[in-house]
Structure 1
């Protein structure tokens, strides 16, 4: 490939080795951790999915909160979304569900990347003409502040003329490297992402698609824990460092001496933080589950799965009397597992 990855330009530092070892250690341990009950795993994935959708769309300028994303997801069947933010969330949610459910059957090629882009922008009226097609006009990477206001250009991208050739080269390189199994899978994913964003092959949606493709490649590489902890939320919290690392590496990709270090370090640190968060969640799950009575556990699980629980929900769920449930709910609030919202007949509970 033109100025793509060459073994003599990729320096594997001690930090990079340490981060890879840390992530791979958790990858192996997840087989045991992943033996949590299916409903527990489902609840973890639902929370992570909401965080991922909210964070990934906010990185690109959306203003929807995680709570608003959750509410929208509960109404996806309506297939009608009034605002650009809602359209983007709906498309991202559908694409993530597809990847989680069908990753074994998604070949990594240009045709499928275009199909995934089409799904991503399925509900976006503004993007109807170009979804699923490489760009025909020049574009550039812009950064947005926390209010969704554009604050500047991060990077000038590949021309529409060069895009098909560069994408063909990139996808070929990924598949060849995965086949040779000489370069570590995490390095293959990291390099794909930064080069994909340097090309910026589509008119819009490149950042969001890059994060979905990251998830797809990681799951296909055996990192089965990825759906249960949001990498996107890690990136959102470190957005300035994210843009800086991209800019530092992307500016050198087409030179004789590509500087992969800034992006590799940022990407691997983000994956390590994703692992740390999931470890903490799983450990808390184990402690909570071991300490709670079965009835209280049912209440907590329902609240985690659905975002909240009311007295009516609890009665239908358990078939237990109102007075008994009041005691369990009071104990869960006192012990810091639930927050009480509202009062009287309108009271409801959510996880802390």
Structure 2
């Protein structure tokens, strides 16, 4: 049974939830950008989400490499496991964005999402979409890959089906009862899901996809335009610490939800603040910048620095056209030019 009687909703939690919900309510007005600008925001956020979520689990592909791979997904053959994971994550995200209204929180849907997440991984073929059949406790490893010891014991394969069914039943009933705010329910669902670790592999990636699904189903329509995964990647140590602090108490009579919910709500707040800042800048610039220049500003904001070669790959624009837009952005004080020649790169001023 999921015990929430020990949940202490602090003034900080309430303040963050209120701020997020205020943005959620205003999104229709704030998001009244030109369709091509919204599309550009979503495209960048999607690449960030895929890159960050797979890197959290050990992938080495940069956002630029992810973007190049996604532009050629029709090839269906991949040279590395990292590429297989990126392709699967991208396709499941597309499914969630397109069909979230129809994806109820059920065992079948969770297993289908897991199956699709690992669809390109031959190594995972036997356990795609199936509950784990062997222990998968979380272990620590040294730099040589030798196991140092078990950090956290997950649910046993025997207990997993029952514990997942219990979690799903609790979430759906609590959603209907409206006893807790949806963001708190989603946070608790995610941390319990990760504590169970129901699949042999892919649990972390799937937990972040499920987070997006549950946020969309709870009315947070802005989520596709700002990457929560990127926020988590940038706070990875705090992410794992908060998980461990709460997970170690979940099966007790007095679970401590505070550490995880504190991290989770803070991450959602940073996701929202990033998007709010982007939209505010877009509205200020709307009508005053050409589309290509606005897109380049987006890319510099999201990647920190940008070369002309990066811009060519990410925008598909002609090199000479890009040079002209970069020159104007520098002259108007939006960007700074660093270095010279082919090694030159641009950053925000």
Sort the TM-score into its range (normalised by shorter chain): 0.7 to 0.9
Q: 1:70 Cα deviation (Å)?
A: 1.0
TM-superposition CA deviations, 1:165-196 (whole Å, max 9, x none): 00000001111111112211001100000000
Residue in 1 aligned with 2:311?
Answer: 308
**Aligned pair 1:237/2:237, yes or no?**
no
**Aligned pair 1:275/2:272, yes or no?**
yes
Q: 1:291 Cα deviation (Å)?
A: 3.0
Conservation of the 8 A alpha-carbon contact between 1:338 and 1:350: yes
The DSSP-based 3-state class of the residue aligned with 1:35 is coil
TM-superposition CA deviations, 1:211-265 (whole Å, max 9, x none): 0000000000000111111111111111111111111111111111111100111
How many pairs are equivalent?
A: 337
Distance 2:17 2:191 in 1: 18
The DSSP-based 3-state class of the residue aligned with 2:286 is helix
The DSSP-based 3-state class of the residue aligned with 1:291 is coil
Conservation of the 8 A alpha-carbon contact between 1:143 and 1:151: yes
Residue in 1 aligned with 2:302?
Answer: none
Distance 1:349 1:43 in 2: 21
Residue in 1 aligned with 2:114?
Answer: 117
The DSSP-based 3-state class of the residue aligned with 1:68 is helix
Within 5 A, what are the aligned runs for 1:291-330? 291-292=288-289, 296-301=290-295, 308-309=311-312, 328-330=325-327
Distance 2:144 2:225 in 1: 28
Q: 1:329 Cα deviation (Å)?
A: 4.7
Residue in 1 aligned with 2:306?
Answer: none
User: Match for 1:5 among 3, 6, 18?
Assistant: 3
TM-score (norm 2): 0.87
Residues 314, 229 of structure 1: CA spacing in aligned structure 2 closer, same or farther, 3 A cutoff? closer
**Aligned pair 1:81/2:78, yes or no?**
yes
Distance 1:336 1:145 in 2: 44
Residue in 2 aligned with 1:33?
Answer: 30
Residue in 1 aligned with 2:197?
Answer: 200
Q: 1:141 Cα deviation (Å)?
A: 2.6
Residue in 2 aligned with 1:319?
Answer: none
Residues 304, 22 of structure 1: CA spacing in aligned structure 2 closer, same or farther, 3 A cutoff? closer
Conservation of the 8 A alpha-carbon contact between 1:95 and 1:116: yes
**Aligned pair 1:134/2:128, yes or no?**
no
Within 5 A, what are the aligned runs for 1:218-229? 218-229=215-226
Distance 1:150 1:192 in 2: 29
Distance 2:145 2:281 in 1: 34
Distance 1:143 1:218 in 2: 31
Conservation of the 8 A alpha-carbon contact between 1:110 and 1:168: yes
Residue in 1 aligned with 2:262?
Answer: 265
Conservation of the 8 A alpha-carbon contact between 1:299 and 1:314: no
Distance 2:150 2:280 in 1: 41
- Give runs of ≥4 in structure 1 deviating > 4 Å: 142-153, 302-307, 312-316, 324-329, 337-343, 346-352
The DSSP-based 3-state class of the residue aligned with 1:86 is helix
Where does structure 1 lack aligned partners over 5 or more consecutive residues?
Answer: 317-321
Residues 341, 85 of structure 1: CA spacing in aligned structure 2 closer, same or farther, 3 A cutoff? farther
Where does structure 2 lack aligned partners over 5 or more consecutive residues?
Answer: 300-308
Q: 1:24 Cα deviation (Å)?
A: 0.7
Root-mean-square deviation over aligned CA pairs: 3.1
Residues 17, 315 of structure 1: CA spacing in aligned structure 2 closer, same or farther, 3 A cutoff? closer
Residues 109, 339 of structure 1: CA spacing in aligned structure 2 closer, same or farther, 3 A cutoff? farther
TM-superposition CA deviations, 1:139-167 (whole Å, max 9, x none): 02356899999886442100000000000
